[in-house]
Amino acid sequence: MKRVVLDTNILVSMALGGEVGKVNDEWKAEKFLLIVSDEIVSEYLDVLQRPKLHLKPYTIAVIMGRIYRKAEFVAPTERTPNIQPDPKDDKFLEAAIAGKVDIIVSGDKHLLDLKEFRSIPIITGREFLDWLKANG
């Protein structure tokens, strides 16, 4: 099974639906294994609870419950030396290293501009859906 790190903006898009929301369908169908760290999950929860997203507590609980049941938690041992302009995104790169992932999915310009990190491709949600179809 493909091992994948999802940036927080992709998780939010999954929660809100729409085109990138289809990533959620692929996850439910077990087309990939979500790799997370405690730091990533903490950010997921913090962002999902933001009032501007208008997500119901029940919806957030369902999403977080599935993460705790279905995702693989890794404990990054290597810190990246702030390799890109937004150091708070380094946690996704660190989890990708620790989790030996196949791909990082992001909507964040800073991460996408890297194109890859240590031979791990960094792609958009739309590209990820296409990649899953091609590599399913």
CATH code assigned at 119? 3.40.50.1010
Give CA–CA dist 1/99, Å, rounded: 13
Name the pTM for this structure.
0.93
Per the CB < 8 A criterion, the answer to whether 90 and 82 are in contact is yes
Range of the domain at 91: 2-135
Return the pLDDT at 82.
Answer: 61
What is the SS3 assignment for 130?
helix
Predicted confidence at residue 135, as pLDDT, reads 78
Average pLDDT over residues 49-64: 94
Instruction: Look at residue 136 and tell me whether its pLDDT is greater than 90.
Output: no
**pLDDT at site 89:** 85
Q: Is the pLDDT of residue 83 over 70?
A: no
Between 84 and 116, where is the model more confident?
A: 116
Domain count, the chain: 1
Mean of pLDDT values over 75-104: 84
In angstroms, the first-to-last Cα distance of the chain is 9
Encode pLDDT of 18-44 as tens digits.
788 889 889 999 999 999 999 999 999
In this predicted structure, what is the pLDDT of residue 84? 61
Q: Does the pLDDT value for residue 77 go beyond 80?
A: yes
Predicted pLDDT of residue 46: 96
Q: Is the pLDDT of residue 62 over 80?
A: yes
Place of tokens 């279905």: 70
pLDDT for res 44: 97
For the chain, the average pLDDT equals: 91
